Structure 1
């Protein structure tokens, strides 16, 4: 049976061109980039070529691009590094209630060290109000971190406006762009971004390689200490094959991003409208328009998300009940809770995330497969039968 994979927000299948670029690197460009002989210099040249591609992709300078091991490492480097660099200036950081755990966890760590964190509220569609940021800023504020788009509900935040507020106040502005890098246009100059995190495996690249953009002049202490790699900003021998794969993934994204966004938006809206029409007591989570082209997050009353997921999996369809990083937890999604959903609706949610390989036929198959699954599960639910009697 051909599997329908709709969990691309968790990870994507590496593109064939990416795999080939990595294999070529593993075979031929295996030198240590810090070595001064020709084999090492060849690896260094590949890395610097990739750095230039990354920089051009977001309208940055090559020396503002740092290669890391993941989006999580990039987020931790920003949050801890800025806090350590500027602790003499202030101890206040502003973020949001719906950030990824790779932002929330280091913020919690800093709170244990005496830093103060303000979590901005959001509306019932996941949007943050720039006026709330203005009110939250104090003389002690040293960093604002707001994700570009939410990994669970797909809502796209007003990054340009939030960044402008920070720029006016002289406060560093960071955005976790792991879900948007390679899927939405990003111009760090136009969007007033000082720091940005990205990860290759969300855009058909390999796992184990990330990116951190740090605007020239930003003071940030490194997370890792050791060698002089990445101009002493990130010690560790560079992952040359991973960087080669990341660069190829960005090269592919640059040629097809706009076209794919339109195509996936059409498929996304088809799935949303069909499920809302065919499944009573269903709801869309997140903003209906200001959302990632490939993201659908929906809640279905009187059914468990895990039960729907397992039934779909047996039919050859892979989806998610939320963020892959918290899939082992029985706690309801903190993102859906921040939207005001009850625990019951939060537990009855599914996330579908499309890719460049998703077809119209696959979307129709998901619709025709999921609707009877929900009906069957509801028929076994005492709560559903109880409300049906009413």
Structure 2
């Protein structure tokens, strides 16, 4: 099977897997226990917290480990919104956020908060002027993703962060797709809070983290919670966190070389479909693009049909965010950038990773070419 769905999840690296096994054997204690076994686990947890904080230019005290990116988004947004509710109840986000962000915003709206969804341009980038116009005296929180999970457009976080810092509005960003791939410095970006996940960077599933700057207050979602400083209930997954930290440090070490490879593979894919004159539209921001995510429309075919066709030929691709699989509705991102519903249903996503080769690209292009030739001959 040729795997081209790395934006959904990645296989664990050998290093991350080895650390997980060793940590599970050696540091099996509950990090909250006061005996020596628990203390050893807590010391490892402290080291991991410090290393993750260093990777994002943050402070160790601001790291809270979670069960993944979705929980990280939900807990961060809820805890920040409720901590600021004495100042107002207005939240601003974008129309192309991950499903977890839209879900928690819908929940908060039912609880009395008001939500504004700012538009994006034809490349899927947030309009900063529209965002500024959406702010009111009642605005307490803005949540804008770092990069879109369907088409890979990178958002102007620094520009947004500078704006929100002047207005003293808390700024959260879903960085699940960008952590370990492009530089993230929370101080330079003026971001107060971010969400990250392990399984997007060759670490284990079921592990993630939230960073909230220590000066920013947050609200305890479940009263009397003791784990993670009260941020999240449940025994902390020390082996998973150690493995996540290993994967994160490994990703950072290889980041520049990896991104160069991803850019080359992307260029090659575009060259191939152009050379073969395939009726495929690739979405790409001229300057702010995460290269490993290729969102495109295969004209004349529904995305699910293309995905199943590729699967029959031993190629794994997707029709968008894995969190939306099974839903027949057209891609929200496609609708947000101005596509009609029928056209939006033609969307597929390819995403490259550590094991992707030029040969894999040639194979998927050949399969897509065959699909379109079959349609022309019928």
Same fold per superposition (TM over 0.5): yes
Query: Are 1:89 and 2:87 an aligned pair?
Result: yes
CA distance in 2, matches of 1:375, 1:221: 57
Question: Which residue does 1:205 correspond to in 2?
Answer: 203
The DSSP-based 3-state class of the residue aligned with 1:189 is: helix
Aligned to 2:68: 70
User: 1:160, 1:192 within 8 Å by CA — same for their partners in 2?
Assistant: yes
Label 1:378 to 1:350 Cα distance change in 2 as closer, same or farther (>3 A): farther
Of residues 17-26 and 274-283 in structure 1, the stretch that sits farther from structure 2 once superposed is: 274-283
Structure 2, unpaired ranges of 5+: none
What is the correspondence of 1:329-368 to structure 2 with a 5 Å cutoff? 329-368=327-366
Distance across 2 between alignment mates of 1:105 and 1:279: 40
When the two chains are superposed, the root-mean-square deviation of aligned CA atoms in Å is 1.3
Question: Which residue pairs with 2:177 in the alignment?
Answer: 179
1:167 and 2:165 equivalent? yes
Work out whether residues 225 and 234 of structure 1, in 8 Å CA contact, stay in contact via their aligned partners in 2.
no
Corresponding residue to 1:22 among 10, 20, 34: 20
- Mapped to 1, the partners of 2:278 and 2:193 lie a distance apart of 43
Q: How does 1:136-151 map to 2 (within 5 A)?
A: 136-151=134-149
Find out whether 1:242 has 2:216 as its counterpart: no
Select which of 28, 36, 39 maps to 1:38.
Answer: 36
Q: Contact 2:91 / 2:116 at 8 angstroms: preserved in 1? A: yes
Deviation, structure 1 residue 372 = 0.8
Shift of 1:357: 1.3
1:294-336: per-residue Cα shift (whole Å, max 9, x none)?
A: 0111102111211111111111110001111111000001111
Q: CA deviation at 1:241?
A: 1.2
- Aligned pair 1:317/2:315, yes or no? yes
* SS, match of residue 255 in structure 1: helix
| Match of residue 287 from structure 1 | 285
- 1 CA distance for matches of 2:126 and 2:13? 34
Displacement after TM superposition at 1:69 (Å): 1.1
Q: Offset of 1:341 from its aligned partner?
A: 1.2
The answer on whether the counterparts of 2:272 and 2:362 sit within 8 Å (CA) in structure 1 is: no
Aligned to 1:278: 276
Q: CA deviation at 1:223?
A: 2.8
Shift of 1:21: 0.6
Match of 2:303 in 1: 305
Q: 1:368, 1:311 → 2: CA distance?
A: 12
Instruction: Please state whether the residue corresponding to 2:145 is helix, strand or coil.
Output: coil
Q: Distance in 2 between matches of 1:367 and 1:258?
A: 26
Residue 61 of structure 1 is matched in structure 2 by 59
Out of 172-181 and 269-278, give the one that drifted further: 269-278
Shift of 1:379: 4.3
SS at match of 1:52: helix
Q: What's the secondary structure of 2:188's corresponding residue?
A: coil
SS at match of 2:189: coil
Match of 1:386 in 2: none
5+ long unaligned stretches in structure 1: 381-390
Change over 3 Å in CA distance of 1:325–1:279 after alignment to 2: farther
* Secondary structure in structure 1 of the residue aligned to 2:374: helix
**Counterparts of 1:182-197 in structure 2 under 5 Å?**
182-197=180-195
Shift of 1:378: 5.1
Q: Aligned residue for 2:115?
A: 117
Change (3 A) 1:289 1:378: farther
Residues in 1 aligned to 2:124 and 2:342: alpha-carbon distance in whole angstroms: 19
**Residues 51-86 of structure 1 deviation map (CA, whole Å, 9 limit, x = unaligned):** 111011001111111101111111111221122112
Aligned residue pairs: how many? 378
2:186 match: secondary structure: coil
Alpha carbons 1:303, 1:378 under 8 Å: kept = no
Say whether the 8 Å CA contact 1:76–1:223 is kept in structure 2.
no
Aligned-partner Cα distance in 2 for 1:67–1:39 = 20
Instruction: Quote how far apart the aligned CAs of 1:342 are.
Output: 1.9
TM value normalised by structure 1: 0.94
Task: Identify the range of structure 1 (278-287 vs 329-338) with the bigger mean alpha-carbon deviation.
Answer: 278-287
